[in-house]
Amino acid sequence: MSGPETTIGPEQLPHARGSAVFFGGTFDPPHMGHIAAIRDLRRITRLPVIVVPTGTPPYRPSPQASAIARAEMVELAVRTLADPLVTVCRWEVDRVMPTYTVDTVEWLHSKDPDLGLVLALGSDVASALPGWKSVGQLLEQVRLLVFERAGASETGQAVLAALRQRGLPLVGAEVIPLSTPAVDATGIREGIAAGVGSAEMLPQGVAEYISSHRLYRDLRKPDHGTVIG
């Protein structure tokens, strides 16, 4: 396929040195809400964004699409941004084993010890941080950025207050609003399984990939959004 290189392999680091935003998720499938979130993260932080599709999620049932399919769809989605400072890291996908966010952060730091990472999480996902593997160690290696989305049960500030009460290291943690459309991956999958078109909620390349690979025709597994664990 044509277009800029978007994948970070074992020998490739983010395009810009210094700091970068870590934006992870199952992306089952990647949709226009994800694209809007990435665009807003770039605009607000003015930092490169590393998009990290999960491989084998440790805390939930496996996504409906395979890890390789989800990574390929993420690469197609990212190409629509035409932004060389938005890259895709396939390390979790290539490991073919349960991987935790702290593992991926440590791998990225092993490739560039001076890379400052900003971990971007929706407020609903951030509220579950106390249950993540080595969460204290993780938060000592990143700066937490909590973004609020329509329909979230808690505000970002309420989530940060609860995390601070638990004594978690949150130096430099911030809350930002993102103007993302109300798009739900579960609803997209259900629509495809029911034969209802969802093309307007998906980047064109992703919609074509889903159609050509006949994904989501047999509905079975739930999705819970951005990065876990």
Q: Residue 80 class from Cβ within 10 Å (0-12 exposed, 13-18 middle, 19+ buried)? A: middle
For residue range 132-158, list pLDDT tens digits in order: 999 999 999 999 999 987 667 788 999
| CATH, domain 7-180, list 3.40.50.620, 3.30.1600.10, 3.40.50.300, 3.40.190.10 | 3.40.50.620
For residue range 4-54, list pLDDT tens digits in order: 334 444 334 343 358 999 999 999 999 999 999 999 999 999 999 999 999
- Which pTM was predicted? 0.87
The secondary structure element, H or E, covering residue 188 is: helix 185-193
What does the buried/exposed string (b/e) look like for 126-164 if buried means 16 or more CB atoms within 10 Å of the residue's CB? bbebeebebbeebbebbbbbbbbbeebebebeebbeebe
Return d(Cα 202, Cα 210) in angstroms, integer: 10
Q: Which two tokens stand for residue 139?
A: 């938060």
Q: Assign 219 a pLDDT band (cuts: 50, 70, 90).
A: low
What pairs with residue 117 in β-bridges? 20, 142
| Strand pairing report for 7-8 and 116-122 | unpaired
